[in-house]
Chain A
Amino acid sequence: MLGLNNKDTKLLIAVAVLTLLAPFILNPFPADSAMAQFNAGYPDLMQRFVIFGIFAIGFNILFGLTGYLSFGHAAFLGIGSYAAVWIFKLFTYNVVPAIALAVIMAGLFSVVIGYVSLRRSGIYFSILTLAFAQMSFALAYSVLSNPKFNLTNGETGLQVYSGDLQMFHRDSLPDLPHLFGLSMRSTYNLDLGAWSFSFNAGYYLCAIVLMLVFYLSIRIFRSPFGLMLRAIKSNQTRMSYTGLNPRPHTLAAFVISGMYAGLAGGLMAAMDPLAGAERMQWTASGEVVLMTILGGTGTLIGPVLGAGFIKYFENIFSKINDSILHEWFAFLPDGLENFMVFIVHPFIGKGWHLTLGILFMLVVIFLPGGLVEGGQRIGKWIKNRGKAKDSGATTEPAE
């Protein structure tokens, strides 16, 4: 279907079903129950899952296929956000031109940054991208924000003010980002007994974009271009002596992944019309590296899983505070209860990065292929167990 083989079609359908049904899947616990804190079906969290998924899918096209590790991709995400907010300020709250310009601007910047950085490979390439990203951050944070020429609005972040031009804005349209009149904030709440589910317009826009760009990434992985990118990762010497020029291949991959990042940045601004420099900081660039490795570098679905995993646990762990911990450990004797809270305390709230670090180390050490490898191992284990029980008496259904 759609020019994909069976396995890829199944994967695409699985992603489509999961993203479209996410409001149900992510809200398995009744709204009033104690478990409700593990629900993730809120519009803004679901939007983040999908937006970072897009960011990581694009990053994986560069890092997963060519092996070039960029530490500066958050710069393109930030550029996308700024571009989108400028469209909101000057022209219209319609998200289509905003997202389009976000992708184009990120593409232009990645041509320049990629052209320079790709003159080196390995660690030098990574350092060059990092340097560029920190320069972009500095530009956005202070240099391009002065009374005479204020492009980024510095520390405060770029946002839309009532005095802004908004040339094509009409009163009949929502005073927030919208898709031809459909506000990105509009949400339909469905209450089923004790359960509550939210269907948010912004989330569904992001979800549809995710499906499109995920499909595109499958096509790239299976294309001659994708094969060349994997060849670059495997052996650049053989590549050159086979008459292939590695440079334009890596640059194209860099620009594509930069445009994915810009798209993510544009969507971020479309969900919440502001753009801040912190989005471009090196920690943000590092986060997408973690997502990709955690999920499974070079696999199709891995980056999406990694992004979801990190954003989910970030949300859960950073929300837990000491009083919640006391509730959890209330069944213990007082002294032990306080002791347990004391032990767990550093890993929650602001200390969530500590938890992330440990999770990341565990995955890298025990599952070098990331969550995808974990899934495959579990799949194999279940299959083998089934076989051992049946001992070949019944035939297993194929696939």
Chain B
Amino acid sequence: MGILEVKDVGKRFGGLQALGDVNLSVKENTVHAIIGPNGAGKSTLLNCLVGKLIPDTGSVMFDGQSVLGRSPHEINQMGISRVFQTPEIFGDLSVMENMMIPCFAKRDGSFRMRAIENTMREKDVVEKAEAMLVDMNMADKRHMNAASMSRGDKRRLEIGMCLAQEPRLLLLDEPTAGMARADTNNTIDLLKQISDERDITIAIIEHDMHVVFSLAQRITVLAQGTPLVEDNPENIKGHPKVREAYLGETAA
């Protein structure tokens, strides 16, 4: 029994069957990659896990509890954090403030009225956010406006913000898309370090095979909304169906 169990999930957009009977089981404390050609339904699947979309059929269980019908913030509070394809951070706020917000969310839940207290005197949150910034190697940027950072740094910050919530499952949607090689390698190293050092399960959607094969212990290949195969990286590399799916993509 995995920490995340997806059963027979289907999702239709008008006439397009974006997902049809997806079954997926992600084991605790592993890195599980979901790959597939463009338009295969990877992002749609991920959106069904975090409450952005509600699947038409099937069930999604996280740690034995259904996530269907819950709103994004409730699912997040259950222990699922998500990194977006383009970094979603609080652009108008400082890097430190960005990091403090998930710390508050972790400590105080989805809403707690603390309108008189002084933010900078919440010692536990300030210390945790500072430590997280050190971990993410961006302590020197703490006063910077988050929007003014490079894309690689924004990605790092976003990952750090997710980790500050101590999630049990971290979902990443093409975290290296549009990144230069050096930034991609940094991100791979960061994710490796995270999965080695923390009690965390990572599910990653990725296009870049280099990233997938450097990180994943388990790979699901998705094509046209249905899983083709699920196996370990060695077997996936040589699998005829996978090559076909990718060859099909290049031929199109």
Judged by a CB distance under 8 angstroms, whether B202 is at the interface is no
In whole angstroms, what is the CA distance A134 to B180 when docked? Answer: 55
Task: Check if B220 is an interface residue, CB within 8 A of chain A.
Answer: no
Name B50's closest neighbour in chain A (CB-CB). A241
Q: Spot the interface stretch: B31-39, B75-83, B193-201, B227-235.
A: B75-83
Closest-CB distance, A83 to chain B (whole angstroms): 24
Per-residue 0/1 for B236-249: is the Cβ within 8 Å of any A Cβ (1 yes, 0 no)? 00000000000000
Contact status B117-A223, CB under 8 Å: yes
* Residue pair B101, A228 in contact (C-beta under 8 Å): yes
Which residues of the partner chain B approach A243 to less than 8 Å between Cβ atoms?
Answer: 73, 76-77, 102, 105-106, 109-110, 165
Chain B residues near A219: list those with CB within 8 A: 115-116, 118
Q: Which residues of A contact B165 (CB under 8 A)?
A: 242-243
Contact B71 A240 (CB under 8 A): yes
CA distance A320 to B76 in the complex (A): 61
B102 touches A223 (CB 8 A): no
Instruction: Tell me the residues in window 210-234 of chain A with beta carbons closer than 8 Å to chain B beta carbons.
Output: 219-220, 222-228, 230-231, 233-234
If the complex has contacts A233-B92, A238-B89, are A245 and B73 also in contact, measured as CB distance less than 8 A? Answer: yes
| CB–CB A226/B76 < 8 A | no
A227-B111 contact in complex given A234-B90, A242-B161, A243-B77, C-beta closer than 8 Å: no
Cα-based distance from A5 to B104 in the complex (angstroms): 21
Using a Cβ–Cβ cut-off of 8 Å, how many residues does chain B contribute to the interface with A?
A: 38
User: When chains A and B are docked, how far (Å) is the Cα of A352 from the Cα of B82?
Assistant: 54
B113 touches A225 (CB 8 A): yes
Chain A residues near B178 (CB-CB < 8 A): none
CA distance A238 to B87 in the complex (A): 9
Counted as pairs of residues, one from A and one from B, with CB atoms less than 8 Å apart, the total is 103
B72 shortest CB reach to chain A, Å: 4
Which residues in B have their C-beta under 8 angstroms from that of A225? 113-115
Point out the residues of chain B lying under 8 angstroms from A5, CB to CB. 120
A33 contacts partner chain B, Cβ-Cβ < 8 Å = no
Q: How far is the CB of A129 from chain B (nearest CB, A)?
A: 22
Q: Which of A3, A225, A237, A248 has the most CB of B within 10 A?
A: A225
In chain B, what residue has the closest Cβ to A237? B88
**What are the residues of chain A within 8 A of B89 when measuring CB–CB?**
235, 238
Q: In the bound complex, do residue A242 and residue B101 qualify as a contact, i.e. CB atoms below 8 Å apart?
A: yes
If A241-B50, A243-B76 touch, does A228 touch B91 (CB 8 Å cutoff)? no
Closest chain-B Cβ to A28's Cβ sits at a distance in Å of: 38
- Contact between chains at A224 and B72 (CB < 8 Å): no
CB distance from B61 to the nearest CB of A (A): 19
- When A224-B119, A240-B72, A242-B105 are in contact, do A235 and B91 touch as well, CB less than 8 Å? yes
Q: Tally A residues with Cβ within 8 Å of B.
A: 29
CB proximity to A under 8 Å, residues B98-135: 100-102, 104-106, 108-111, 113-120, 122, 125
Are A220 and B115 in touch, CB under 8 angstroms? Answer: yes
Q: Are A241 and B81 in contact (CB under 8 A)?
A: yes
A14 at the interface (CB under 8 A from B): no
CB distance from B71 to the nearest CB of A (A): 7
> When chains A and B are docked, how far (Å) is the Cα of A256 from the Cα of B116?
13
C-alpha spacing A3/B119, complex, angstroms: 11
Tell me whether A139 is interfacial, beta carbon within 8 Å.
no
Q: Is the Cβ of A223 less than 8 Å from the Cβ of B90?
A: no
List B contacts of A244 (CB < 8 A): 73, 101, 105, 110-111
Beyond A227-B97, A240-B72, whether A235 also contacts B88 by CB under 8 A is yes
Q: How far is the CA of A5 from the CA of B89 in the complex (A)?
A: 27
Q: A230 — which chain B residues lie within 8 A by C-beta?
A: 90, 92-93, 97
Partner of A231, one of B73, B81, B93: B93
Which partner residue on chain A sits nearest B109 by CB separation?
Answer: A243
Contact, CB under 8 Å: A224 / B114? yes
* Distance (whole angstroms) from the CB of B155 to the closest CB of chain A: 13
Q: How far is the CA of A234 from the CA of B161 in the complex (A)?
A: 15
Which of chain B's residues has its CB closest to A61's CB? Answer: B115
Check if A252 is an interface residue, CB within 8 A of chain B: yes
How many angstroms from the CA of A226 to the CA of B114 in the assembled complex?
9
Expressed in whole angstroms, the Cα–Cα distance for A350 and B72 within the complex equals 53
The reply to whether A227 and B161 form a contact with Cβ atoms under 8 Å apart is no
- Structural contact, B115 and A240, CB atoms closer than 8 A: no
Chain A residues within 8 Å of B122, by CB: 224
Whether a CB of chain B sits under 8 angstroms from the CB of A185 is no
Q: How far is the CA of A228 from the CA of B122 in the complex (A)?
A: 14
Q: Are B104 and A227 in touch, CB under 8 angstroms?
A: yes
Those of B170-221 within 8 Å (CB) of chain A: none
A224 touches B91 (CB 8 A): no
Rounded to whole angstroms, the CA-CA distance of A239 and B88 in the bound complex is 9
Q: Which residues of B contact A237 (CB under 8 A)?
A: 84, 88
- B164 → A minimal CB distance (Å): 9
A345 interface contact, C-beta 8 A: no
Residue of B with least CB distance to A253: B115
**CB contact between B90 and one of A220, A235, A249 (< 8 Å): that residue:** A235
Inter-chain CA distance A242–B74, complex, in Å, is 10
Task: Give B56 Cβ to nearest chain A Cβ, in Å.
Answer: 22
| Interface core residue of A227, A241, A256 (most chain B CB under 10 Å) | A241
Known: A220-B116, A245-B73. 7 other contacts (CB 8 A): A225-B114, A226-B119, A234-B90, A237-B88, A238-B90, A242-B81, A243-B106
> Interface of A with B (CB < 8 Å)?
3, 5, 219-220, 222-228, 230-231, 233-235, 237-245, 248-249, 252, 256
- Ordered by A's residue number, 19 sampled pairs between the chains whose C-beta atoms are within 8 Å are A3-B118, A223-B117, A224-B117, A227-B119, A228-B101, A230-B93, A231-B101, A234-B91, A238-B88, A240-B72, A241-B50, A241-B73, A241-B88, A242-B81, A242-B101, A242-B102, A244-B73, A244-B110, A245-B71
3 smallest beta-carbon distances between A and B, as pairs: A243-B76, A225-B115, A234-B90
